[in-house]
Structure 1
Amino acid sequence: MAGIKVYGVPFSTATMRALVALYEKGLDFELIPVDLTTGAHKQEPHISRNPFGLVPAFEDGDVKLFESRAITQYLAEEYNDKGNQLFCPGDKVVKATTRQWMEVEGQHFEPTAMKLTFERVFKPMLGMTTDPAAVEELEGKLGKVLDVYEKRLGESEYLGCGCFTLADLHHLPVAHYLMGTDSKKVFQAHPKVSAWLAKIFAREAWAKVLALQKPPQ
């Protein structure tokens, strides 16, 4: 049995975020499904792993975590000598800049993009009706965020610095879902953002995460 355990589902954006970091680090782990359809995430034993009743939950020996971005940072730092580096090597300013753009993802990109993903992706999956007015408003807000990204990516190959880091990785799940909808036009209106997405979507670790969503042959 793998020492590292992830409790979640491969369709969950937060679970996907943790999984891609594990694959980037080349670490062995066990993905333990949590049945969201029966509410298992709101019951014991999962509620003891994640007190908010969400996925994922993470265990690495005595280390127990439940927020995906905390999990990715733990993996980047604890397994710094494994796999791909998820913080650019450099001085404190480089690291601080990377952390700054990690905050941008969590504070500016994710809130709007996740609401848009709910309208575009999850509402149809749940048999609910997408609200066109909400979509239009959210696309406008996301476009303004991506205006900032477009400027940044004209200055740096990746968001945090000149190489792929957690600042980029954290965007993968939600951006992936939105690029499968008509809202992809918001990204496509930003050429440098589109080129950046193409690079991060092409990473081997991300392909492995998407492969987990395919039913067994």
Structure 2
Amino acid sequence: MAPKVHGALFSPAAMRAFVALHEKEVEFEVVPIDMAAGEHKKEPFLSLNPFGQVPAFEDEDLKLFESRAITAYIAYEYQGQGTKLVYHDAKKMAIVDLWMEVEAHHFEPVVSKLVFEQAMKPVFMSAEPDSAVVEKNQKKLGEVLDVYEARLSKSKYLGGDEFTLADLHHLPTMHYLMGTSTKELFEARPHVSAWAKDILARPAWTKTVAMQKQA
């Protein structure tokens, strides 16, 4: 039985699960959750994720929520196929883990606000971005990307010389920001810009974006 991802195709968190499955060349089923109708806040979805957030994931008798836990499971469970995504060398994996933590605690809190203001509000709420919120968080993101620029001047990817979960976790929010003025912050840093173009062009990500167009 194919794994199931319960979520919305436009959800950045659900997209992390989708792209991980594509990277590992795993066939999967999407169970659509209508977030506009509040399905993620009701049963039966709450039995899969009691916090009422997408995605939720099922693989036979295993049930998971939290997108980064899901991607880690996918990387290890299907380690014999597709892109490696993780290392089994403890020191190499420690570096990957470090940059996954950076994404979760320094990158995501800032870019999630920018994605909401610049990409989600105009499309789903027909509302203008709050310029003060955008300006404040673009400044914060610039500081984070300065750290990324220094790191990426020393290695092709965040976790080393191979594409890993540390890079993959950035894809959904970065994708949405490429259609906004925040794109300039990435382009202003040559190593960050090259890295962003590289990972956004990966076939697995192209397949993930295509899922939205096919819906």
Provide TM-score, normalisation by structure 2.
0.97
Equivalent position of 1:111 in the other structure: 109
Once the two structures are superposed, residues 48-74 of structure 1 have per-residue CA deviations (whole angstroms, 9 ceiling, x without a partner) of 111111111000011100100000000
Q: State the Cα distance separating 1:88 from its structure 2 match.
A: 3.8
Mapped contact 1:88–1:164 kept (Cα < 8 A): no
Mapped contact 1:57–1:64 kept (Cα < 8 A): yes
CA distance in 2, matches of 1:47, 1:173: 24
**Matched position secondary structure for 2:22:** helix
**Matched position secondary structure for 2:212:** coil
Letter of the 2:127 counterpart: M
Q: Map 1:83-102 to 2 at 5 A.
A: 83-88=82-87, 91-102=89-100
Equivalent position of 2:210 in the other structure: 211
Letter of the 2:94 counterpart: A
CA distance in 1, matches of 2:67, 2:31: 15
Q: State the Cα distance separating 1:87 from its structure 2 match.
A: 1.2
Mapped contact 1:21–1:72 kept (Cα < 8 A): yes
Tell me, yes or no, if structure 1 residue 176 matches structure 2 residue 175.
yes
Task: Flag structure 1 segments of 5+ consecutive residues without an equivalent.
Answer: none
Q: State the Cα distance separating 1:122 from its structure 2 match.
A: 1.1
Task: Flag structure 2 segments of 5+ consecutive residues without an equivalent.
Answer: none
CA distance in 1, matches of 2:202, 2:38: 33
**Matched position secondary structure for 2:31:** strand
Equivalent position of 1:197 in the other structure: 196
CA distance in 2, matches of 1:153, 1:40: 40
Letter of the 1:58 counterpart: F
Mapped contact 1:10–1:16 kept (Cα < 8 A): yes
Q: Map 1:39-50 to 2 at 5 A.
A: 39-50=38-49
Q: State the Cα distance separating 1:3 from its structure 2 match.
A: 2.5
CA distance in 2, matches of 1:116, 1:201: 18
Equivalent position of 2:132 in the other structure: 133
Letter of the 1:116 counterpart: L
Equivalent position of 2:79 in the other structure: 80
Q: Map 1:140-179 to 2 at 5 A.
A: 140-179=139-178
CA distance in 1, matches of 2:81, 2:49: 27
Mapped contact 1:102–1:166 kept (Cα < 8 A): yes
CA distance in 1, matches of 2:9, 2:195: 24
Once the two structures are superposed, residues 140-187 of structure 1 have per-residue CA deviations (whole angstroms, 9 ceiling, x without a partner) of 000000000000000111000110000000000000000111111111
Provide TM-score, normalisation by structure 1.
0.96
CA distance in 1, matches of 2:214, 2:64: 28
Letter of the 2:92 counterpart: V
CA RMSD of aligned residues (A): 1.0
Q: State the Cα distance separating 1:209 from its structure 2 match.
A: 0.3
Equivalent position of 1:33 in the other structure: 32
CA distance in 1, matches of 2:179, 2:108: 17
Equivalent position of 2:62 in the other structure: 63
Q: State the Cα distance separating 1:215 from its structure 2 match.
A: 3.8
Q: State the Cα distance separating 1:37 from its structure 2 match.
A: 1.5
